[in-house]
């Protein structure tokens, strides 16, 4: 039961394919710019900003969890998710997979940077969009039980 994920500027959309009814769209009213403008105002974000952003994402996410939960991976070709691959030491020009533990390690590196560790020492982008994408993805994987993220080569189109 794969789910195609797109984290946009103002909203996050997930198309869940349960194998019975075809892809069912779920739209979450949280996106990269929303988190960036409201919560992640510093580059890199502060620990307090990350905490506030997590709460905001969870508030939007939790009512939709029953429709998002599933065993299959999240699949995306979002540019910021491609940046996750680079931060994890993987090439962004081929299909690659990050399991939930790899995403959690990336998030912990972001938390370390928010806590004062130099971003350059973790080789992480400091832009709000990267932090917002990682945060939304982490919360979605954790709460929806998605154990992997498959990142298509950057720029690939979502399946119709």
CATH number for the domain that contains residue 78:
3.30.420.150
pTM of whole model > 0.85?
yes
pLDDT at 155: 57
Query: Rounded mean pLDDT of the chain?
Result: 91
In a domain, 157, yes or no: no
pLDDT at 71: 84
Enumerate residues 6+ apart whose C-beta is below 8 A from 124: 44, 87, 106, 109, 110, 113, 130
Question: Containing domain of residue 86, as a range?
Answer: 3-151
In a domain, 156, yes or no: no
In a domain, 158, yes or no: no
pLDDT band of residue 101 (cuts 50, 70, 90) is very high
pLDDT band of residue 160 (cuts 50, 70, 90) is very low
Number of structural domains in the chain:
1
Cα separation, 83 vs 58, whole angstroms: 23
Say if CB 49 and CB 36 are below 8 A apart.
Answer: no
| Per-residue pLDDT tens over the stretch 3-49 | 999 999 999 999 997 667 767 899 999 999 999 999 999 999 999 99
In a domain, 159, yes or no: no
């Amino acid at each position: 039961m794969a789910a195609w994920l797109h984290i946009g500027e103002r909203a996050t959309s997930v198309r869940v394919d349960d194998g019975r009814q075809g892809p069912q769209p779920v739209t979450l009213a949280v996106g990269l710019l929303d988190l960036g403008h409201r919560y992640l105002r510093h580059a890199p974000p502060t620990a307090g900003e990350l905490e506030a952003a997590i709460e905001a994402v969870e508030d939007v996410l939790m009512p939709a969890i029953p429709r998002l939960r599933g065993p299959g991976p999240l699949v995306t070709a979002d540019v910021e998710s491609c940046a996750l691959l680079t931060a994890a030491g993987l090439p962004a020009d081929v299909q690659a997979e990050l399991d939930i533990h790899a995403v959690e390690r990336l998030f912990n590196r972001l938390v370390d940077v928010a806590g004062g560790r130099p971003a350059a020492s973790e080789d992480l982008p400091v832009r709000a969009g990267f932090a917002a994408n990682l945060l939304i993805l982490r919360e979605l994987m954790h709460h929806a039980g998605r154990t992997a993220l498959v990142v298509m080569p950057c720029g690939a189109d979502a399946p119709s």
